[in-house]
Amino acid sequence: MKLIMTILCVVFMQVSGCASIPENQDQKTEKVIAEANKAVVFIKSAQMESIDDKGIKKQERGFGSGFMIREDGYMLTAWHVIGAPNAEIKACLQRKTTGRYGDLEIPDCRSAKIVGFDPQRDIALLKIQGSRYPTLKLGEDPPVGHQVIALGHPMGFLWTATVGIVSKSPLIQEDEYFTQTDASIYFGSSGGPLINTQSEVIGLLDKILVPNSAKAPIGISLAIPVGDIKILLPRLLEGGQIKHGSLHVAFGFINELDFQEMPADFRIHKISENVPGMLVVDIDPDGMSAKNGLKKGDVVIRVNGQMISNLIDATRLIYFQKPGTEVVLEVMRQGERKLFKTQLDQEPEADYNVASKSNPKK
């Protein structure tokens, strides 16, 4: 009988092609996820919302994700996970314990404080007491097709991983840009890391696009590019709310303009289609740029010697700088190159008391 069973098993294995449970062919990904999750944080926040007609205080509670970037307790998350500077925050790291059904991941929670925050780019830097925490390294902005892993706590399912690729970089939406991925995320993923297969952070998970007609995400997950994070991090470490610089002008990018449709009052400025840069479509006459000589119809080619031809350049070279920073603008005006020095004005501040996108209405 034993011989017959052995023969049947061999025949079955040859037909089905499944001699045994197959060995994981992607052990590197498995190891990357296990190691990276040690630095992924579960974040719980609570803020005082209002007092009702009975005098009872009502709290707004939420949750989201984050990740450690320094061994001494500094972590990044999305600002909308926190929602207000006076929020009470708990940050929970992964602690392994062995239970009846194997290893369990237990949240090890402690109080966190806000160090710096930027509501307009939706980033916050938090800190917990302690040292020698596991961390994730910040990488570089990836190309389309780059393999990525999204880590976080969607819907409160702790230490969840999904795999995908960079679908588009950048995706521009309403004067913002993001790294788009098809790696699935959901409410609660916000603030978590989007990493590559070398465990480097290439984005901070921020939002999902869900059309009104859809009942679930459609594979358009958006992350704040790591290039933005690396520029803003020194300012976040300084503490407080980040204030953004501005030239107080409205721009149109030359590589996106339809020159056939351009108004006549701009055509007289002899703008070449082959010249990169930003066309000054409108300008605040009371702003520092206008007072220092910049005019409507000018094409800004460089800022402090660096080429500027798209929204990312404009944001990183202008918007992410401190108000009052002096910049040198290289400008094309009626076919001639000119240099202007000016100081950046302050961009109007956004209301930082925002509803949390991370919560499925708690």
At 142-151, the pLDDT tens digits run 999 999 999 9
Q: Which residues of 220-255 are buried (b: 16+ CB within 10 A; e: fewer)?
A: bbbbbbbbbbebbbebbeeeebbebbbbbbebebbe
Q: What mean pLDDT do residues 97-122 have?
A: 83
pLDDT at 117 over 90: yes
Q: Which pairing describes strands 137-138 and 200-208: parallel, antiparallel, or unpaired? A: parallel
Residues 290/298, Cβ–Cβ less than 8 Å: no
Alpha helices in the chain (DSSP H): 2-16, 27-36, 79-82, 226-238, 264-267, 288-291, 311-314
pLDDT at 352 over 80: no
Is residue 190 part of the annotated active site? The answer reads yes
pLDDT at 203 over 90: yes
At 276-323, the pLDDT tens digits run 788 898 999 999 999 999 999 898 999 999 999 888 999 999 999 999
Rounded Cα gap, residues 71 and 280, in angstroms: 45
Question: Residues 355, 249, 176, 138: is their CA dihedral positive or negative?
Answer: negative
Is residue 269 part of the annotated active site? The answer reads no
Annotated catalytic residue, options 45, 167, 189, 190: 190
Is residue 221 part of the annotated active site? The answer reads no
Annotated catalytic residue, options 45, 65, 118, 122: 122
Rounded Cα gap, residues 348 and 181, in angstroms: 31
Rounded Cα gap, residues 169 and 137, in angstroms: 20
Annotated catalytic residue, options 65, 80, 298, 358: 80
Q: What mean pLDDT do residues 12-22 have?
A: 48
Can you give the pLDDT at residue 157? 93
For the chain, give the percent of residues with pLDDT over 70: 75
Residues 76/133, Cβ–Cβ less than 8 Å: no
pLDDT at 21 over 50: no
Q: Which DSSP state fits 265? A: H
User: Tokens in use for 39?
Assistant: 């630095």
Question: Residues 61, 42, 147, 124: is their CA dihedral positive or negative?
Answer: positive
Residue labelled with tokens 């001639």: 336
Mean pLDDT for the chain? 84
Q: Give the model's confidence band at 87: pLDDT under 50 very low, under 70 low, under 90 confident, else very high.
A: very high
At 37-74, the pLDDT tens digits run 999 999 999 976 666 666 666 667 889 999 999 999 99
